[in-house]
Each structure stands twice: as C-alpha cells, then as structure tokens.
C-alpha cells in the first residue's frame, strides 16, 4: 500500500489479490482457487457509506494524533494518557480513543475502571475524567475485566469503525488515538477510516535498545507507506532516574541473602552528607550504545521529540490513574514529558494561536 492506496484484502487471500472493493474482485486470474472468490464476486462494490458518516462525525475534531509503537511494552499507553492529561491541563478540549481491542489499558491509566458507556440521541457518550477530557475504550464494554477479547481482524475493525462513527465527542481540539503495537489490521483500518478527515500524524514511542528499534523502524516504514506523517519519536524508559532518597539499599550476605540497609544508609546520609538526599541517581536499563532513538531518527529523517526517563513515580501515577503533572511526585519524568509535548505543539504549530483558542 503506497501513499494511501488501500485495498481490503482478506488474510487468507491469494497473492496479488485485487481487493474486495475492486470491480475485478472474484473475477481476475489472481482470484482463482481463493476461498473468498465467490463471496467477493457477489458482494456489493463501491464506496463504504460509513466513511461519509465518519467524515461528518470528525468534522468537529480539529486535530487527530495517533500514538503508535512497533514493540509492545514500551509505555505507549502511558504516553497517550499523560499527553491527554497535559493537553487538557492547557484548557484544550481533548478526547482519548483506545483502539487496543485485545489489551485496553487506558481505562486503568485514566482512573476509569468500572465505568460504562452511555448512549444518547447523539450517539455513544465518552466517559469523562474532567469536563474537557473524554475517553472511549472497549474496556468500558467488558462485563468482566479479566475476560479475553478473542476476535479476528474483521470484528476488531468493525468496532473501530463504530467508535469513529457512533461516538459523540462534540467540539474537540485534539483526539488522541492509542493504537496497539505493530502494523496490523487495526492500524490499516484507523488510517483508512480517517484518511478523508485529515490526520495530523503519528507519534511513535520506543525504548532505547535495538530489540525495540528494529520494530519501530518497521512502524516508521508503515507510516511512510500509508502516507501518515511521523510527528516525531519519543524514547521512553531512557534510563532509570530517581532521587537517591527514594531508593532502597540492599547488602548481599555471605549466604546469598539480601539484607535491607535502607534505613541505615539514609540515616548516615542525613548525618554526614544531607545534600546527597537531593541528588538524582541515573543508570541505564536498556543498552543504548547503538545511539538509541535519536540516531534512528537522524538516519530515517524524522523528528526526535526527546527522552523520558524510567521513573517509578510515573509508573505509580499510571497505576493510580492520575496525571503526573498534578503534583510534584514525578519530578524527573513530568518535566521531560512537558518538554516533549511543548516541542510537539511548537513543531507542528498546533497551538492556541493557530486555533484561535
């Protein structure tokens, strides 16, 4: 698929499938022997009428930003949640759409577990954290949060389409879309469904090591192939960074057991070197000797937005479903996130001045 040239191709289709919406679907030489040949030949062709509905629904949304990652577990949803919190704190009207159908973590990170979707005459109503921050996720639709969502591509795509055409967001400055890792059905569908509505682009989240960057390069390649602008890359978990006073200190005994020395160490520092209690300790968790995300961005010609350290306080904020900007606890990660968000807004000129806000 180059430059937004989309084809609906079933997973079990033959090579060189013309796509289910093509006039030659089920009739071309490439269709011979395909298990979908008869269905494709008899199915109605033409534009999807739901796309018109989506365009109308998205007409009240000024900016649409996808948050992607090539690798799972890199903190993409944490970034999506904190980006949404930050934009809402700037008095923007913000929506957060979670399209990770099989692993919806956004309700937890926004403190909305146990909430349900309500319907009005205007459509599905988002669940609101604040008056200017609404959230939609399949997590609100599951009767049991431990229940696995075992869906094939078409059903997942159907729910994503329903979110886009049936959720009533009202007037939004930003719609942040948290996608699952990879470059699969959900990613193709969200870009296809929103193509005519105007997508600002994608923020790609990674960790510093090559194991993650290998897959992130594929994510960037996907964006280029479908004509989706890469707004920038965020290097998350860029070294463990934590005030020395928040560490626990252990000593390994001759028998291999670990003895907690925290109380003694902190007491010693208070008495002998109290200024050390304000020192922030840093160590690399992931190998960044190959240059990390910064070097990858330089090689691929895409913006590098910055680094966010691995901060236990940020992890705690996500667990508790709160903003890392609401207090002084996340004193190493919150400033890093704010710099990235300010840089994003400045680079893309998505600002209050441009929007007249």
CB-based contact 314:333 (threshold 8 Å) = yes
Q: Was 80 annotated as part of a binding site?
A: no
Q: Was 330 annotated as part of a binding site?
A: no
Q: Smallest Cα–Cα separation from 136: which of 93, 100, 171?
A: 100
Structure tokens of 115?
């909430």
Structure tokens of 308?
């966010």
Torsion of CA 162, 157, 223, 351, to 10 degrees: 20
Q: Smallest Cα–Cα separation from 236: which of 99, 108, 69?
A: 69
Q: Was 218 annotated as part of a binding site?
A: no
Q: Was 73 annotated as part of a binding site?
A: yes
Query: Residue 217, by phi and psi: left (phi above 0), alpha (psi -120 to 50) or beta?
Result: alpha
Q: Was 338 annotated as part of a binding site?
A: no
Q: Was 71 annotated as part of a binding site?
A: yes
CB-based contact 309:241 (threshold 8 Å) = yes
Chain centroid to Cα 181, Å, comes to 8
Classify the C-alpha dihedral 276-279-285-290 as positive or negative: negative
Q: Rounded to an integer, what distance in angstroms lies between the CA atom of residue 25 and that of residue 23? A: 6
Q: Which residue has the tokens 């934590």?
A: 242
Q: Rounded to an integer, what distance in angstroms lies between the CA atom of residue 257 and that of residue 24? A: 70
Phi, psi torsion values for 214, nearest 5 degrees: -55, -45
Q: Was 288 annotated as part of a binding site?
A: no
Q: Was 297 annotated as part of a binding site?
A: no
Q: Was 34 annotated as part of a binding site?
A: yes
CB-based contact 208:235 (threshold 8 Å) = yes
Q: Rounded to an integer, what distance in angstroms lies between the CA atom of residue 133 and that of residue 137? A: 14
Q: With b meaning 16 or more CB within 10 Å and e meaning fewer, what string describes 289-323?
A: eeebbbebbeeeebbbbbbbbbbbbbbebbeebbb
Q: Was 74 annotated as part of a binding site?
A: yes
Positions at the binding site for [4Fe-4S] cluster:
17, 31, 34, 40
Annotated binding-site members for ATP: 70-77
The binding site comprises 17, 31, 34, 40, 70-77
């Amino acid at each position: 698929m180059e430059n937004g040239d989309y084809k609906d191709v079933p997973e079990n289709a033959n090579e060189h499938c013309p796509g289910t919406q093509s006039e030659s679907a089920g009739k071309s030489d490439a269709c011979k022997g395909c298990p979908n040949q008869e269905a494709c030949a008899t199915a109605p062709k033409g534009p999807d009428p739901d796309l018109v509905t989506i365009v109308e629904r998205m007409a009240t949304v000024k900016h649409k930003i996808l948050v992607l990652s090539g690798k799972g577990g890199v903190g993409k949803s944490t970034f999506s949640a904190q980006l949404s919190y930050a934009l809402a704190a700037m008095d923007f009207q913000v929506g957060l759409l979670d399209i990770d159908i099989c692993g919806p973590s956004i309700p937890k990170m926004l403190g909305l577990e146990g909430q349900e979707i309500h319907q009005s005459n205007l459509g599905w109503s988002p669940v609101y954290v604040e008056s200017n921050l609404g959230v939609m996720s399949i997590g609100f639709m599951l009767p049991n949060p431990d229940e696995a969502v075992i869906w094939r591509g078409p059903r997942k795509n159907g729910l994503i389409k329903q979110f886009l055409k049936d959720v009533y967001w009202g007037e939004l400055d930003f719609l942040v879309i948290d996608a699952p890792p990879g470059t699969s059905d959900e990613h193709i569908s969200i870009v296809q469904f929103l193509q005519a509505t105007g997508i600002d682009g994608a923020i790609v989240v990674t960790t510093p090591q090559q194991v993650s960057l290998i897959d992130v390069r594929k994510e960037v390649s996907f964006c280029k192939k479908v004509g989706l602008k890469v707004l920038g890359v965020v290097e998350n978990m860029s070294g463990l960074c934590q005030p020395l006073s928040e560490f626990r200190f252990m000593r390994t005994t001759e028998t291999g057991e670990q003895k907690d020395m925290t109380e003694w160490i902190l007491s010693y520092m208070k008495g002998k070197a109290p200024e050390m209690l304000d020192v922030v300790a840093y160590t690399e968790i992931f190998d960044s000797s190959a240059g990390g995300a910064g070097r990858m961005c330089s090689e691929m010609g895409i913006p590098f937005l910055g680094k966010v350290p691995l901060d236990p306080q940020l992890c705690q904020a996500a667990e508790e479903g709160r903003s890392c900007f609401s207090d002084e606890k996340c004193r190493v990660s919150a400033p890093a996130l704010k710099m990235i968000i300010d840089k994003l807004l400045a680079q893309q000129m998505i600002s209050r001045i441009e929007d007249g806000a």
